[in-house]
Amino acid sequence: MSCDSEIAETLRRAGFRLTPQRLVIVRALRHGGRHMSAAEIAEEVHREHPFVDLSTVYRTLDALKRMRLVTSTDMGSGDVLFEWSPEAPHHHLICSACGRVDEIGPEYFRELEERLLQELGFAADMHHFAVFGLCRECRASAEASDDDEA
């Protein structure tokens, strides 16, 4: 099965009406191989379909998010970034100092998800998100600076 056929079948199974514009938007994101802003996706789309406007990209991304085919994350850059939903869910650790991004698996959050449900009756959406802090190297550098000042 070709990639376009696979994309089309996935969208149809999710109840998504397929148009040429939607297909090219999904193709741009899926083959981007990274997190992309709506503007970056629109830029890719315009190479093939120059008349697809940014509002069409946003509406398509919103529909894909509701179907959990696409995730969105604020990675600290000021833009929401989109990613074709990976087979295995993952989350991001983002260093506030150097900007390094590491992916981690959902196992780090299972206990939190379970406790929220058991103790508060809250079913958390733990699908995809970012955690900000300091990476090991930036923490070590900050601690060394603190030691030098003491």
Q: Check which CATH number belongs to the domain holding 40 and give it.
A: 1.10.10.10
Is the confidence at residue 86, as pLDDT, over 70? no
Residues annotated within a binding site for Zn(2+): 95, 98, 135, 138
The last residue of a domain, from among 58, 85, 112: 85
**Top mean-pLDDT range of 30-44, 74-88, 107-121, 124-138:** 107-121
Show the tokens assigned to 50.
């120059």
Q: Do 53 and 106 fall within a single domain?
A: no
Strand-pairing partners, residue 25, are none
Mean of pLDDT values over 81-100: 84
The pLDDT, as a whole number, for residue 144 is 80
CATH assignment of the domain containing 120: 3.30.1490.190
Give percent of the chain above pLDDT 90.
Answer: 33
Strand-pairing partners, residue 73, are 81
Confidence of residue 116 (pLDDT cuts 50, 70, 90): very high
Residues annotated within a binding site for Fe cation: 127
Q: Do 42 and 103 fall within a single domain?
A: no
Sign of the alpha-carbon dihedral angle for 39, 44, 47, 51: negative
The last residue of a domain, from among 40, 60, 85: 85
The pLDDT, as a whole number, for residue 114 is 94
Query: Are the C-beta atoms of residues 94 and 101 closer than 8 Å to each other?
Result: yes
d(CA 92, CA 112): 16
Mean of pLDDT values over 85-98: 82
Q: Do 37 and 54 fall within a single domain?
A: yes
The last residue of a domain, from among 28, 51, 85: 85
Q: Do 96 and 77 fall within a single domain?
A: no
Q: Do 70 and 111 fall within a single domain?
A: no
Q: Do 75 and 6 fall within a single domain?
A: yes
The pLDDT, as a whole number, for residue 117 is 95
Could you tell me where the DSSP H helices lie in the chain? 3-13, 20-32, 38-48, 54-66, 110-120, 136-149
Other beta carbons less than 10 A from residue 141's beta carbon = 14
Q: What is the pTM of this model?
A: 0.71
pLDDT greater at residue 108 or residue 90:
108
The residue segments making up the domain with residue 99 are: 88-150
Residues annotated within a binding site: 95, 98, 127, 135, 138
pLDDT greater at residue 144 or residue 133:
133
Q: Do 30 and 92 fall within a single domain?
A: no
